[in-house]
Each structure stands twice: as structure tokens, then as C-alpha cells.
């Protein structure tokens, strides 16, 4: 991901989290079951055939009862910011 993509990644993670956890509207995440208002970019990530996965430990973004949070950002959402040769 290029530098501009790194800057936009928190906004993309926010969208992925809202979809994955069924957050309706644009209300603050911390009023919709999250412990944070903005999803930070986790240093714990992995690459799959469909996108980048970001892993968050319990209490990092959601409660312990929610367990580990795993957000997968599809390459299609990142395509604009992928380095040449990696576009999907």
C-alpha cells in the first residue's frame, strides 16, 4: 500500500467494522458496541488471496466478550492505493 493508502486505511477499517458488526448509520463507534471511536491500524495483520486482515486483541477495540476482532479489508477497497504490480 502506498503512503496515501496508509493515511486512508483507518477510514476503510471503520467502514469494514461497521459492515461486519452491523452498525447502522454514521453514529460514533463507541456508542455502537466498540470501546473506541476510531479503529486504529493494527500492527497485527496478514495477507490473504482476497485482502488484508487486521487482528485486534480483546479490549483493544471491543469488549472481552466479543473476543478477538478480525477485520478483513478486500483488495477491491484498496486497489487505488496498491503499489504497481499488486493491483487486483
Torsion of CA 20, 83, 48, 40, to 10 degrees: -40
| pTM as predicted | 0.84
pLDDT in tens, 55-77: 999 999 999 999 999 999 998 88
pLDDT at position 84 is: 66
pLDDT in tens, 3-49: 888 899 999 999 999 999 988 888 888 888 898 889 999 999 999 99
pLDDT at position 61 is: 93
Distance CA 18, CA 25 (A): 9
Amino acid at each position: 500500500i502506498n503512503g496515501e493508502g496508509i493515511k486512508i486505511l483507518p477510514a476503510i477499517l471503520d467502514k469494514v467494522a461497521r459492515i461486519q458488526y452491523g452498525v447502522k448509520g454514521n453514529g460514533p463507534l463507541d456508542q455502537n458496541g466498540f470501546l473506541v471511536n476510531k479503529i486504529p491500524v493494527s500492527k497485527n495483520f496478514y495477507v490473504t488471496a482476497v485482502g488484508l486482515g487486521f487482528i485486534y486483541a480483546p479490549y483493544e477495540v471491543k469488549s472481552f466478550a466479543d473476543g478477538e476482532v478480525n477485520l478483513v479489508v478486500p483488495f477491491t477497497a484498496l486497489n487505488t492505493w496498491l503499489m504497481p504490480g499488486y493491483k487486483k
